[in-house]
Structure 1
C-alpha cells in the first residue's frame, strides 16, 4: 500500500503499509490547519527542516518516512538492520544506533520486570515455527472460531528447559555496552523485538508530531496506538476487534491522551505442516503459547509498556492474567477468551 491521504469528517487521515501491518495517522482537521514550521526532523535526516506552509499532508508524509527509517533499523526482516547484524554476529560486539540501544534497554528492563515472561530473545523460536520470513509470505490460517473451555485449562508449569528452543527466562539474551553504543547477543539466542519495537516507533512519530505543534491526533499501527488529545471536542472512539471475525467491535472505548496495545493469537496465525501456529511464543518452551486468551488490550500512558503488559497477560491465561494485571501500572484492559467471554476493567489511576 502506498501513502493514502484523505480529508473526511473534519479529519485528515493517512494510511500506509509498514511493520507488517497498516499504519494510520489521523489528525483532527482544526488542529491540522496550522502545523508548526521549520522544526528539526528526528533520525538520520541530516538536519532537514520542513518547509513552512506545506500543511498537514507534508507532516504525514514525513511521518511515513520516519516509520520506514526506524523499521529498517529495528526489524529482523531487514538483512542490514541493527537487529539482523547483531543476530548474525553472536558472541561479538556490534555497534548500533542510539535508538536501537534505547529499545534494547527497554526490552531488557521488561524482561526483568516480568520475570522473563516477556523475552526479547525469541527470534530462533520464531524462525523454527516458520516465522523466519515476513508474515505476508506465510500461508494464513482460517479465521479463529469460538471454542469451549480450552483442553489445557489452567495449564501446569512446564520444566524450565522443556526443549531445545526454550530459554532460561532469568537470563538476558544480549549484553549492552551503552557508553560505547554496542551490543552482543548471547550464543544460542536471537533477538526479536516485535511489538515493543513497533510501539516505540509509534511513540517516536507521536512525539515528533507533538513537536510540530499538533495536539489532536492518533498514530495507529495495526491496533497499537497513541491517542493524543481529543478528536475535536470528543474522545477518540477506538473499537476493539472481534477476534472471531465479526464485523462489529467486541467493545468500543473512549480514549484520550493514552496509548493502547493489543496482543492476540487471532492475528498472526499460519499453517505449519498439518497444524496451525501463532506468533506469541512461551519463552519457557520456545513454542507457541497454550493459553485460553485470544486477545488482550491494555491502556497505559506509554505504548511500549502497554505492549508488554498485554502480551504477558495473554501468556498467563484468563484467570492468572487478570489477577496479574490488577497489580500492574495500567489504566484499563480488555481480555477476550477462546470461549468468547469478555472481561474488562478501568482503573482511572495514573500509571507509574
Structure 2
C-alpha cells in the first residue's frame, strides 16, 4: 500500500498478524532495523493473543465470560479507556458491545475462514439480540436501547473491569490503530529510529525528519477487486486510517450483502452510501474511529457529525454512486492528496 521517497533507503519487513498484513519500513542500520522489526512482530502477535475474539483463551474472551469484577492487563485497561472516550465522541456510533451482532451477521470466525455464503441466524434471533440481547441477560435499570453509553465500568486506579450483564465486547474497531500508534511511538522514543512507517491493514503511522521526504501512501480503489489505486496521501508525520465495507463482505442466505461495520442503532451491518473512507490526522486510533464512524453514518449524517465536533481531520470518502467527498483543509488538498479531485468539498469550520 505504501512506498517512500527517502534520502536513505528504508528497509521493509512484512508479516501477518491481527488477521491482516503488517508492513514495517524503517530508516536505520540493517541490524537495528531487523531487531526493531522482530520486536514489532512480537508486539502485534502479543496483542492479537490478548484482544482477539477468535482466540479461545484471549483476555478479551475471559473478560466477556466473566461475572462481577475482573482484573485486567494494563493494555486492556488502556484500550477500554480509549474506547470509553470514543463512544462519547462518536455519539455512540462507535460501540464495542457489538460482538453478538457480528456473530449473528455471519462474522463468527476469522475472516479468511468465513464461507462465501455465511449462514445467518433467524430474524427472530436477531430481533432477540436487539431487544433483549440474550435470554441469559438480566434486565437493566437503564434502557437496553441506549447504544450511546458504555456497557462496562472501570474502577479508577485499580485496573478492575465490570461488564453489564449480557455484554460481549469486540475491540477490533480500535485495537489495530492503537497497536500501530503505540509501537510507532516506542520505536521513536526508545529505539531512536528517526524515520519509519507502520501499516497494519490500512491503519498507518509515519514519522520522519526534515532530512527525509514525505511518505507516499496509496489509497486503493473500492470499486475493483484488484489493488488498483485511486490516489495518494503524502505526509511526513502523522496517521492515516482507511475503513470500508467492500473488503470484508459476504452474503446472507437471502443474497443480501453483509459486512463487518455494525450500526449499533440497529445491530445490523450499516445501511450506508459510503464504500470507503480515509482519514488523515495525528493519531492512528482516532483516525480509525473517525473512518468507521463516517462509513456507518453515511454522507449526510457524517458531514453534520464532523461539524458538530469541530473536527480538524482531513476526511475523504467514496460512495456507491462513484462520488468523492472531501472534508478538511482544502488549501492543502492538491499537495497532500494528489490524484484526487473530489466532487464535493467541505472546508473546516
Q: 1:33 aligned to 2:29?
A: yes
> 2:201 matched to which residue of 1?
222
**Aligned partner (choices 175, 178, 196) of residue 200 of structure 1:** 178
For residues 163 and 222 of structure 1, the distance between their equivalents in structure 2, rounded to whole angstroms, comes to 34
1:65-122 CA-partner distances (Å, limit 9, x unpaired)? 0111122112222222221101112x42121101110100110111122221111111
**Aligned partner (choices 204, 216, 232) of residue 237 of structure 1:** 216
**Aligned partner (choices 317, 328, 332) of residue 298 of structure 2:** 317
The structure in which a higher percent of residues are helix is: 2
For residues 247 and 225 of structure 1, the distance between their equivalents in structure 2, rounded to whole angstroms, comes to 17
> 2:85 matched to which residue of 1?
109
Please list every run of 5 or more consecutive structure 2 residues that lacks an aligned counterpart in the other structure. Answer: 1-7, 118-128, 134-143, 333-347
Which runs of structure 2 are paired with 1:284-323 in the superposition (5 Å)?
284-323=265-304
How far apart are 1:237 and its partner, in Å? Answer: 0.7
Q: Report the 3-state secondary structure (helix = DSSP H, G, I; strand = E; otherwise coil) of the residue aligned with 1:322.
A: helix
For residues 162 and 63 of structure 1, the distance between their equivalents in structure 2, rounded to whole angstroms, comes to 39
RMSD in angstroms over aligned alpha carbons? Answer: 2.4
For residues 177 and 293 of structure 2, the distance between their equivalents in structure 1, rounded to whole angstroms, comes to 15
With structure 1 as the length reference, what TM-score do the two structures score?
A: 0.80
Indicate conservation of the 8 Å contact 1:163/1:285, yes or no.
no
For residues 220 and 210 of structure 2, the distance between their equivalents in structure 1, rounded to whole angstroms, comes to 20
For residues 113 and 262 of structure 1, the distance between their equivalents in structure 2, rounded to whole angstroms, comes to 19
> 2:15 matched to which residue of 1?
16
Q: Report the 3-state secondary structure (helix = DSSP H, G, I; strand = E; otherwise coil) of the residue aligned with 2:92.
A: coil
Which runs of structure 2 are paired with 1:80-91 in the superposition (5 Å)?
80-89=57-66, 91=67
Distance 1:336 1:232, change over 3 A: farther
Q: 1:134 aligned to 2:110?
A: yes
How far apart are 1:272 and its partner, in Å? Answer: 2.8
Distance 1:132 1:58, change over 3 A: same
Q: 1:339 aligned to 2:321?
A: yes
Q: Report the 3-state secondary structure (helix = DSSP H, G, I; strand = E; otherwise coil) of the residue aligned with 1:261.
A: strand
Q: Report the 3-state secondary structure (helix = DSSP H, G, I; strand = E; otherwise coil) of the residue aligned with 1:336.
A: strand
Indicate conservation of the 8 Å contact 2:205/2:284, yes or no.
yes
